[in-house]
Amino acid sequence: MRRPGDRPPAVPVLTEFLQQLINGLSLGAVYALLALGYTMVYGILRFINFAHSDVFMVGAFAGYYAARPFTIGFAGTGPALRVNLGIGTHSVSGGLLALLLSMAICALLGIVIERLAYRPLRQRSKLTVLITAIGVSLLLESAGQLVFGADPKPFPELFPVREFSGGGLNVSSNQLLVIGVSALLLIGLQFIVLKTKMGTAMRAVSFNHQAASLVGINNDRVISFTFGLGSALAAAGGILYAMNYPSIEPYMGILPGLKAFVAAVLGGIGNIPGAALGGVLLGLIETFVNGSHYSTYTDAIAFAVLILILLFRPAGLLGKVVVEKV
Amino acid sequence: MNGSGPNLSRASDWTAWPKILLLASLGAAALLGCFSGAIDRYYAGVLTKVGINIILAVSLNLVNGYTGQFSLGHAGFMGVGAYTSAAITLFVGPEILPAGGAAHYAWAAYGLFGGALLAGGLTAALAGLVVGAPSLRLKGDYLAIVTLGFGEIIRVIFCNIKSLGGGLGLNGIPPYTTLFWVFATAVVCTYVVVTMVHSTYGRGFIAVQDDEVAAEAMGLNTTRYKIVAFVVGAFFAGIAGGLYGHDTLSIDPKGFGFMHSIDIVVMVILGGMGNTPGVIAAAVVLTLLPEWLRPVAEYRMVLYSFLLIVLMLTRPQGLFAWRRKSRQFQA
């Protein structure tokens, strides 16, 4: 996610367009991963999991700590969490292991959050759950500040970085990696949701809780699974996001989280392909705005998109209009 | 509506003579203002914060508590008011105040400040109308996100207005805020909200909160009620912003972000949604709490968020909901 200033000046329009397209896709891929978690939880429980953006942050930190033993410059300063995966410095397999480890940690975190904070509130009003979610989000942020420290930390090179340039285009291997890994995860998710028994159960629960439990589906288990799955994707998103940004800190999740939620609404909340589409679209829009004269308004664009979509197509691009029955 | 009737009338035992109560409270505020010189600077500063937070919490309570619309952008409206009133006292003030400075013409300065606060409130109300009119057709979570997004948009816009200092904000705002101004506004705000909700018209807010569909079926224009609540709430938030700006003497866009809005929301929740005395108590406690927790400052936010979760799990009706336990009744 190259800042406009990094580009060589006076590039032809088409090249610039392609460059921004790639930048936008790699940002959009992260939004898509994060948006999936929002959309799956919303689809099943009908509430915004505010803590999701902080799971994303924890994912990035898990990657940071997992990577420490095999990054350069680590001199065994802190014995606190020394995970030695026994793999050489920033190799592809090491990076993938760190990614998987972080996804596993966050999946567990997501399941624990759901179990402790949200499950006891299942029968309560949506507002209560929403406020609890805000509380969990604040707790993760402030606990993160205590545990990880408030100062921004440089994210290690998980994967070997290579720059490809040609014809005025500058693409780093990280950007391609982000797009590739996200695409793989999306395909994997689509497979889980459409082809496996658990995926079928997830869809059933999102249609109707009661009917699902009548046909023998354990709702609680499905919900736990959904949280785990969404949180694992958020962790992957966190690492992929951190790879293209210089540093990570405990509050890093707030803005990407909000934007990813906007992406989920843009695609139609509750709709999995919609979330992916919304994420990519939002990433592209933001990158193109960032490359234009209005770059200082980048952070506001997502919310402008949100307000427009809610005004003109509240169900989102791929969502179905649901008539409220009394 | 048997369930809501008795509770409302029970609540009115302290609102039976609203005008007398209003005058008495205003008198108390004036008294406080007279003796503000005798209060220690630190305590006066804390008291000012308490008063400003009471205004914010009570005005948000009209939206979140009584009308049941979850708004996460209250600090945004506060920012609009703060910037408007600070711009007036900073840029317009020197033009119209007689030479010799405010010190010689205290009343001129008071008039200017009052006008600036009012302008700040009106601008915030206008912003509330602009945001509320389209988004209040949405429900629950969506509204929360839109208002949150609006707060962020305001922040970005202020960062981009060069004449308002951009990201650095405005500095050197004249110190017009006094305890009298703060508490007089708090009293008026509480009076307006309470009498509004307890009026015939105001039952509509509670109807919207209780059951929007039923309220609509009864012929209430629910969107209109929501907008009225939103605009009135934004107006007082704007005034609170003006008071805040003239107290801290410098404002910047970051101060009016999401986290500040959450703080106000927590006051409303802790106090018990739609329970004005409780919300006032919560505003007082939550303003004083950080002062008490100063020795353990680094654990403050952890404690705070943890308490919020525990509270929601164990006592979602709010800590101070002694008066009206629940307006809802189960079928």
The domain segmentation of chain B, as residue ranges, is: 18-269
pLDDT value for A67: 72
**Integer Cα distance of A172 and A244 in angstroms:** 9
The alpha-carbon gap from B15 to the nearest alpha carbon of chain A, in Å, equals 28
Q: How far is CA A307 from CA A292, B8, B81, B90, B250, in A?
A: 22, 36, 22, 33, 31
Classify residue B251 as exposed, middle or buried by CB count within 10 Å of its CB (0-12, 13-18, 19+). Answer: buried
pLDDT tops 70 at residue A170: yes
Task: Give me the pLDDT at residue A191, please.
Answer: 93
Lowest-confidence range among A310-314, B1-5, B13-17?
A: B1-5
Given an 8 Å threshold on Cβ–Cβ distance, is A310 in contact with B309? no
* Pair of tokens at residue A324: 């409220």
Distance from CA of A169 to the nearest CA of B (A): 31
pLDDT, tens only, B29-68: 777 777 766 778 888 888 899 999 999 999 999 998 888 8
Return the pLDDT at A229: 94
B295 touches chain A (CB under 8 A): no
- Across chain A, what does the average pLDDT equal? 84
pLDDT at A55: 95
State mean pLDDT over B10-19.
56
| pLDDT of A80 strictly over 60 | no
Least confident stretch, A83-97, A213-227, B138-152: A83-97
Of B31, B179, B183, B178, the residue nearest B102 (C-alpha): B178
Q: Which residues in chain B are contacts of A126 at CB distance < 8 A?
A: 140-141
Candidate from B148, B159, B262 with C-beta closest to A258: B148
| Cα–Cα distance measured from residue B270 to residue B57, given in angstroms and rounded to the nearest whole number | 11
**Residue of chain B nearest A312, judged by CA positions:** B134
Best interface-test mutation with A: which of B153, B306, B308, B312 has the largest number of A CBs within 10 A? B312
User: Mutate which of A116, A269, A310 to disrupt the B interface (most B C-beta within 10 Å)?
Assistant: A310
* CA nearest neighbour of B58 among B151, B191, B157: B191
Mutation choice for B interface testing from A138, A140, A151 by most B CBs within 10 A: A138
Measured distance CA(B287)–CA(B292) in Å, rounded: 9
- Output the average pLDDT for chain B: 81
Q: How far is B168 from chain A (nearest CA, A)?
A: 14
Answer whether B156 sits within 8 Å of A130, measured CB to CB.
no
Residue B140 Ramachandran class (φ > 0 left, ψ -120 to 50 alpha, else beta):
left
Q: Which of B240, B238, B242 minimizes the C-alpha distance to B121?
A: B238
- Sequence letter at residue B125: A
Residue B187 pLDDT greater than 50, yes or no: yes
B64 neighbors B273 (Cβ within 8 angstroms): yes
Question: Which helix (DSSP H) or strand (DSSP E) does residue B247 occupy?
Answer: helix B222-248
Confidence of residue A84 (pLDDT cuts 50, 70, 90): low
CA separation for the pair B4, B15 (Å, rounded):
16
- Here the tokens at position A77 are 């300063």
Residue B174 has pLDDT above 70, yes or no: yes
Please enumerate residues of A whose Cβ is less than 8 A from a Cβ of B: 47-48, 117, 120-121, 124-128, 130-132, 134-139, 141-143, 145-146, 254, 258, 261-262, 265, 296-297, 299-300, 302-304, 306-307, 310-311, 314, 324, 326
pLDDT class for B329, splitting at 50, 70, 90?
A: very low
Min mean pLDDT across A213-227, A265-279, B28-42, B140-154 is at B28-42
CB contact under 8 A, B70 and A306: no
Quote the DSSP letter at residue B88: I
Report the residue of A119, A134, A297, A301 to disrupt the B interface, i.e. the one with the largest count of B CBs within 10 Å: A134
Query: Is residue B213 less than 8 Å (CB to CB) from chain A?
Result: yes
Question: How far apart (Å, rounded) are the C-alpha atoms in residues A109 and A224?
Answer: 11
Give the chain A residue whose CA is nearest to the CA of B303. A139
Burial label, B148 (beta-carbon count in 10 A; 0-12, 13-18, 19+):
buried
- pLDDT score at B299: 81
What gap in Å lies between CA B8 and CA B20, rounded to an integer? 20
Q: Residue A172: phi, psi to the nearest 5?
A: -100, 155
For domain A4-312, give the fold: ABC transporter involved in vitamin B12 uptake, BtuC (1.10.3470)
Q: How far apart are CA A307 and CA A297, in angstroms?
A: 15
Q: Tell me which residue in B134, B258, B301 faces A311 most closely, judged by beta carbons.
A: B134
Measure the CA–CA gap between A307 and A316, rounded to whole angstroms.
Answer: 11
- Lowest-pLDDT choice from A36-45, A157-166, B12-21, B263-272: B12-21
Gap from B37 CA to chain A (nearest CA, Å) = 38
CB contact under 8 A, B142 and A265: yes
Query: Could you read off the pLDDT of A113-156 as tens digits, one per residue?
Result: 999 999 998 888 777 888 899 899 999 999 998 888 888 888 87
The letter for the amino acid at B303 is L
The pLDDT of residue B6: 36
CA A2/CA A307 separation, integer angstroms = 27
For residue B321, what is the DSSP state? T
Give the pLDDT band of residue A4 (cuts 50, 70, 90): low
Pick the more confident residue, B228 or B175: B228
Whether the predicted pLDDT of B186 surpasses 80: yes
What is the predicted pLDDT for the residue at A70?
40
CA distances from B130 to A10, B117, B126, B223, B234 (A): 41, 20, 6, 13, 11
Residue B11 has pLDDT above 50, yes or no: no
Average pLDDT (A265-276) is 89
Mean pLDDT calculated for residue range B288-294:
81
Burial of A312 (0-12, 13-18, 19+ CB in 10 A): exposed
The pLDDT assigned to B1 comes to 35
pLDDT higher than 80, residue A272:
yes
Contact state of A48 with B144 under an 8 Å Cβ cutoff = yes
